[in-house]
Structure 1
Amino acid sequence: MADRDTTVLGRHDSAQRGYWESKKSDDINLRLGGGDDLYHHHYGIGDYDHAILDAPPERREELILRELHTMENRETEIILDALGGLPSHSRVMDAGSGRGGTSFMIAERFGCRVDGVNYCGHHIDFAERIARRRGWADRVRFHFANMAHTPFPDQSFDAIVSNETTMCVDIDEVFGEFARLLRPGGRYVAVTWCRNDAVDPRSPASRKIDAHYRCAMHPRSAYFTALAAHGLVPFHVARHTEAAIPYWELREQSSLRTGVEAPFLEGYRERSIDYLVIAAERR
């Protein structure tokens, strides 16, 4: 069992942690990851095979779920690509690791050590079981901690990733922690949905999403201000807002829809919400 000393959580929002602790039977994550043991807590990008919507009723749902999961894995691959040619002796931190999907994909591609950090105890237990089943428990480990207040020494990591988790934390605080943890020249890669404050500082769509997930979506400009403040220099920024729309269109057709699909689609279509990939290096 993972250590449950809640003192490591620091100032993390207890309402956000409570949201995830309560979701022990989460169909969206559990049903999509069952085929390959890659359980994600983020969303997908790219298009899907539209012919599946015309499949017979007894096959349609299975095909939709398979496509949604393919889109989730495709999203994680843009993080892997942004990490570049990471040597196998590298050490990577997955900040907000959930049930381990991103961590395992990093370990599989690069053969490196990965430390997942998460404040949800049953997610850690779940991910540790998969690591043992894969025979990876020695190099993919999961820690009960707030990613803004980790137990690791300075300059412990060659790379850090956050996959749709920064809307759950104070980004100035967490980027300060990432800068402490990265060696000079180390790489940070984030995928995030954020408010496009060039269009609307806090649109109705973003408010509905915040209420659904008990989070606080950040303005796009705040990311770059916080990165600069902590010596994290962006070298790659890409907007995948259009590519994020098909996932939500397809999920709206599935039995897994929860009602948050409509505000995501509204926000992306009107561009009041952006879906970004940001890669930066520590000075």
Structure 2
Amino acid sequence: MTNTSAGPSSPASLATSLLESRSQADWDAKRNDPINIQLGDLDGYYHHHFAVTGFNRGILETQGDELEALILKEMHRLENEQVSIILDAMGDVSPEASVMDAGSGRGGTSYMIGNRFGCHVHGVNFCEHHVEFARDVGRERGWDERVRFHLANMIATPFDGQSMDFVVSNETTMYVELHEAFREFARVLRPGGRYIGVTWCANDQVAWKSPVIETINSHYVCEIHPRAVYFKALADNGLVPLKVANLTADTIPYWELRSHSRLATGIEKAFLEAHSTNALNYIVFVAERAPKG
């Protein structure tokens, strides 16, 4: 198991707004995340995102410790399959391609991209102990030849303009100001490069700023953006949608399964209500960086 003991104190803030400052402080304080770390211990892919598609409901007929072990294994399978949404949307990827993972957490998505395509992956995260954790995983498993992690804010990265073939964000854009993030993604993408984003966003046609949305915002110290703001931010920054998928109904089984785990955090009921009422959508965006005019 990767070392999760407390490390040095938090670095100087990389935040540029109150939202980012609060989010960074919250992540800096989360050094022991059982629902993320225990699942990642199964295979080295440590995730900080949710999942879609159904699960094997037969496992709920078991009892005791065996039930919990089966639930965690099944949840992690769903998490890994969720990353396949991003991998499949990337299409054909050259080993020489460069990918930025915006908000890379403990490295699960970055390593799955690197291991699938053998390309150069640059994870960006403003949480120092997450970056250290991800680097440790790579060294332990021999995955670090082409996957690197950078302590940086996704809206102000250290990369040159037009240096990336792909940018991905896996449930991370709710921690930053959206237009600033998409401006930076467009800056680092080469013309014709692809952005793939998976996110939970508010359905502003149903219930913007509803109590259940605010419950989730408070729990995760984030700001769930309206769905329409995503489309505007894409357009304003020259990111042309190629595909948009609404997977709201498909994410409900994940929350049902998670509700049965001993590691449930209490937020499961809010997500089930938000998704089942269509107040909260689970959306995948695939967009192309338009050539500069």
Q: Is 1:175–1:230's contact at 8 Å kept on the other side of the alignment?
A: yes
Q: Is 2:15–2:24's contact at 8 Å kept on the other side of the alignment?
A: no
Deviation at 1:118, TM superposition (A): 0.2
Counterpart of 1:126, as a letter, is F
Taking structure 2 as the reference length, what is the TM-score of the superposition?
0.93
116, 126, 137: which one aligns with 1:130: 137
Counterpart of 2:134, as a letter, is A
Q: Is 1:8–1:150's contact at 8 Å kept on the other side of the alignment?
A: no
Report the equivalent of 1:97: 104
**Distance between the aligned counterparts of 2:228 and 2:98, measured in 1?**
29
Q: Is 1:9–1:149's contact at 8 Å kept on the other side of the alignment?
A: no
Give 3-state SS (helix, strand or coil) of 2:159's partner. coil
Give 3-state SS (helix, strand or coil) of 1:267's partner. helix
Give 3-state SS (helix, strand or coil) of 2:255's partner. helix
Give 3-state SS (helix, strand or coil) of 1:143's partner. strand
1:205 maps to 2:226: no
6, 23, 44: which one aligns with 2:12: 6
Deviation at 1:88, TM superposition (A): 1.1
1:1-283 correspondence runs (5 A): 6=12, 8-11=14-17, 13-283=20-290
Counterpart of 1:192, as a letter, is T
Q: Is 1:95–1:161's contact at 8 Å kept on the other side of the alignment?
A: yes
Which deviations, in whole Å up to 9, do the C-alpha atoms of 1:210-247 show, x marking residues without a partner? 01011000000000000000000000100110110011
Give 3-state SS (helix, strand or coil) of 1:47's partner. coil
Deviation at 1:58, TM superposition (A): 2.8
Taking structure 1 as the reference length, what is the TM-score of the superposition?
0.97
Counterpart of 1:56, as a letter, is Q
Question: Percent same amino acid among aligned pairs?
Answer: 51
**Distance between the aligned counterparts of 1:71 and 1:138, measured in 2?**
27
Q: Is 1:119–1:146's contact at 8 Å kept on the other side of the alignment?
A: yes
Which deviations, in whole Å up to 9, do the C-alpha atoms of 1:170-195 show, x marking residues without a partner? 01000000000000000000000000
Deviating runs (4+, > 6 A) in structure 1?
none
Structure 2 unpaired stretches of 5+: 1-6
Structure 1 unpaired stretches of 5+: none
**Distance between the aligned counterparts of 1:136 and 1:27, measured in 2?**
23
Deviation at 1:8, TM superposition (A): 4.6
Deviation at 1:202, TM superposition (A): 1.7
Residues 22 and 57 of structure 1: is their aligned pair in 2 closer, same or farther, counting only changes over 3 Å? same
